[in-house]
Amino acid sequence: MNPMLVNVVKGLIMDATRAANSGHPGGAMSSADYACVLFRDFLKYDPSDPKWFDRDRFVLSAGHESMLLYSLLHLAGFLSMDEIKRFRQWGSLTPGHPEHDLTPGVEATTGPLGQGLAMAVGMAAAEAHLRARLGADVCDHYTYVLASDGDFQEGVAYGAATLAGLWGLGKLIVYYDSNKVQLAGPTSRVDCTDYRKIYEGICWQVIDIDGHDHEQIRRAIAEAQQETGRPTLIIGHTVMAKGSASREGDFGTHGEPLSPEEIAATKKRLGLPEAEAFYCPAEVGGDFRGRQPALSRLAEAWRGNLADKKAHNAEFAAAWEWTTKDRGALTFEWPAFDPAKKYATRQAWGACLNALIEQLPPLVGGSADLDPSNQTAKFRDTVGNFNADTPLGRNLAFGVREFPMGAIANGIALHGGLIPFTATFLTFSDYMRNAVRMSALQKLPVLHVYTHDSFHLGEDGPTHQSIEHVASLRLIPNLLVLRPADAIETAACLEIALRQEETPSCLCLTRQGLPTLDPAVFPQVAAGVARGGYVLADCEGTPDVVLLATGSEVSLALDTVKLLKDLKIRVVSMPCVELFEMQDEAYKTSVIPEGARLYAAAEAGRPEGWHRYVGRKGLILGIDHFGHSAPANVLAEEYGFTPENLARLIRERLV
């Protein structure tokens, strides 16, 4: 390796953060030795295609060290020097933290610490499953992670790591840049953890090295690659801002650019031109790219083998087609639901999930230890649990780990080739909220299933009764929040979610049974759900009342109409506000027309969001307090979620 490579990378890190007057040079400099060795000597990628299917995945979990990754991507040919110079500027490909859908070569968006490591567990799990399904000649790559102290202090990383050890993800290799310093001071002030003991205790191989010794780094990576039954943690003992003239070990370098004087002195120490910014000589780049011709040949040979295998192996060709199929082209056959029966929408979801076992082979996922309650038990028992002995298992037994579950599902989606889902109670969506946010931010069409969606679950009490959660989830951009009214709407909502290409979905489902919307009476349901909101029951002429409802309150609205036969009432079912807002104004006005005497909404949750439809003077039947432990019918009476009370409120408003 050119002896100047690491120093040139450090120069780019210093110059870019200084030019932006913003950034994190210290950790990037302490990690530079490992990252340079990994990218130059080990990482498998296609120089012409950063999205090549069988590439190694590199996840910079320490996303604040983004300039380290951008420097390496520049040397690899994926980023221009102009983009390096535009670090953290509007419209650049080099934002403050890496974003996978923006910058070529970035595998995951890793601003929130800990989640990069957790997403990498999902990537490694996807690789192991697809290797078993497609063959090692098509899917056989490593997932590398560069993590910092902050990553390990976030519980999501540990939760995901326990599953990685349990699942025997031998092709997951995590490097811990242990420089003993974090943003606010030395790590000794906040952490006394022996990570060797911890990770050995959860079935990982652990290797300690000097993170600045290139030969130790090479040996550790090679040893990690040879361990096929356990993931590996390489603990690299390093120095913050290694190589700086006077700031080595200084926690202040974690989140602040070095001064011009310090940069000049450091460049002199490293043998770089003191007065030249963004110095990157051709010989250093040429040395870094020395393996690229061989990597290109490897990728071309892979493509040739893929074409041959598809042509001569029908079973593989079918599996590969599922692996690469556009989700927007998916079609489904859903189970029939008896119009004379009531179904909890979680029950309907379970029936639909079971129907997908054969219809949708790429579907993988599981529940946070709530399999019977989330209706995933039959899926689990039919497809088997994923682990080292049964990598073709499609059920992921996450245990009580909601946040890691969400982040792992994101990693599976990022890897590609599989369709992930998660499941828990709606109230526990709070535990995994930032993973859901990252699903949305990264444009990952993950399905998050939430059962027990309101106070109607009853006796379990206020800790389990969702009040604010649906409204809170609706605040996240690029997220579909689907709350179906019955079994028929549930199937329609699930189809919408599974056909998304860049948008995650939350499916919010009841525990209590709900009347089924008879297709003979309501033939418009499926088409209406696809538009987010639609006219479910109408009147002649301009309505006196337009009554909107979601989920369990749709049947409440229909029952209320029966008590108000002297009024003209239109009932609008709105299972997805986000989809409804995507419709044109003409459609929205056709559903919610002007001229009604009263606009009303009913939903067993926070009321505030409904003012956009009912206006300041409209009627909203919601709930703005925590629940109580009592039977569901008692709570409905106490909180006013009865046809009689809603009818009374409507009449009072019309006086």
pLDDT on residue 146 = 98
Do 233 and 199 contact (CB within 8 A), yes or no?
Answer: yes
Residue 98 has pLDDT above 90, yes or no: yes
Confidence of residue 47 (pLDDT cuts 50, 70, 90): very high
Binding residues for Mg(2+): 149, 179, 181
Residue 619 has pLDDT above 90, yes or no: yes
Mean residue pLDDT of the chain comes to 97
Cα separation of 176 and 153, whole Å?
Answer: 12
Average pLDDT over residues 136-142: 98
Average pLDDT over residues 353-378: 98
Q: Which helix (H) or strand (E) covers residue 561, if one does?
A: helix 552-562
Average pLDDT over residues 595-614: 97
Cα separation of 66 and 68, whole Å?
Answer: 5
Question: In CATH, which superfamily holds the domain spanning 5-294?
Answer: Thiamin diphosphate (ThDP)-binding fold, Pyr/PP domains (3.40.50.970)
Do 117 and 61 contact (CB within 8 A), yes or no?
Answer: yes
The SS3 of residue 575 is coil
State the DSSP string of 416-466.
Answer: -S-EEEEEEEGGGGGTTHHHHHHHHHTT---EEEEES-SGGG-TT-TTTS-
Residue 326 has pLDDT above 90, yes or no: yes
Whose tokens are 């951009």? That residue is: 477
Q: pLDDT tens digits, residue range 511-555?
A: 999 999 999 999 999 999 999 999 999 999 999 999 999 999 999
Confidence of residue 187 (pLDDT cuts 50, 70, 90): confident
Q: Which helix (H) or strand (E) covers residue 496, if one does?
A: helix 487-498
Q: What angle do CA 372, 378, 382 make, to 5 degrees?
A: 145
User: What are the sequence ranges of the domains in the chain?
Assistant: 5-294, 327-515, 532-654
Do 372 and 379 contact (CB within 8 A), yes or no?
Answer: no
For residue 498, give both structure tokens.
Answer: 């599974």
Residue 618 has pLDDT above 90, yes or no: yes
Q: Nearest to residue 281, comparing CAs of 78, 81, 103, 73?
A: 81
The SS3 of residue 515 is strand
Residue 612 has pLDDT above 90, yes or no: yes
Q: Name 468's Cβ contacts closer than 8 Å, sequence gap at least 6.
A: 605, 606
For residue 592, give both structure tokens.
Answer: 């919610």
Q: pLDDT tens digits, residue range 62-84?
A: 999 999 999 999 999 999 999 99
Same fold, 327-515 and 532-654: yes
Binding residues for thiamine diphosphate: 64, 111-113, 150, 179, 254, 428
Q: Percentage of residues in the chain with pLDDT exceeding 70? A: 100
Q: Can you point out the beta strands (E) in 483-585?
A: 505-508, 513-515, 534-537, 545-549, 569-573
Amino acid (one-letter) located at 552: S
Binding residues for substrate: 24, 254, 346, 373, 452, 460, 464, 511
Q: What angle do CA 638, 623, 469 make, to 5 degrees?
A: 130
Phi then psi for residue 197, to 5 deg, are -65, -45
Binding residues: 24, 64, 111-113, 149-150, 179, 181, 254, 346, 373, 428, 452, 460, 464, 511
Is 3.40.50.720 the CATH classification of the domain at 327-515?
no
pLDDT on residue 655 = 84
Cα separation of 584 and 280, whole Å?
Answer: 52
B/e letters for 246-275, b = 16+ CB within 10 Å, e = fewer, are ebbbbbebbbbbbeeebbbbbbeebebeee
Confidence of residue 183 (pLDDT cuts 50, 70, 90): confident
The SS3 of residue 403 is helix
Average pLDDT over residues 424-453: 98
Q: Name 366's Cβ contacts closer than 8 Å, sequence gap at least 6.
A: 376, 380, 395, 396, 397, 398, 405, 421, 422, 423
pLDDT on residue 110 = 97
Query: One of 99, 154, 402, 603 is an active-site residue; which one?
Result: 402
Greatest Cα-to-Cα distance within the chain, rounded to the nearest angstrom: 89
Annotated active-site residue 65? The verdict is no
Average pLDDT over residues 189-203: 96
pLDDT on residue 234 = 98
Q: pLDDT tens digits, residue range 551-573?
A: 999 999 999 999 999 999 999 99
Q: pLDDT tens digits, residue range 141-156?
A: 999 999 999 999 999 9
Is 3.40.1280.10 the CATH classification of the domain at 532-654?
no
Average pLDDT over residues 8-33: 97
Q: How far is CA 367 from the centre of its chain?
A: 15
Q: pLDDT tens digits, residue range 366-414?
A: 999 999 999 999 999 999 999 999 999 999 999 999 999 999 999 999 9
Cα separation of 597 and 543, whole Å?
Answer: 8
Confidence of residue 587 (pLDDT cuts 50, 70, 90): very high
Q: Nearest to residue 31, comparing CAs of 74, 75, 61, 1?
A: 61
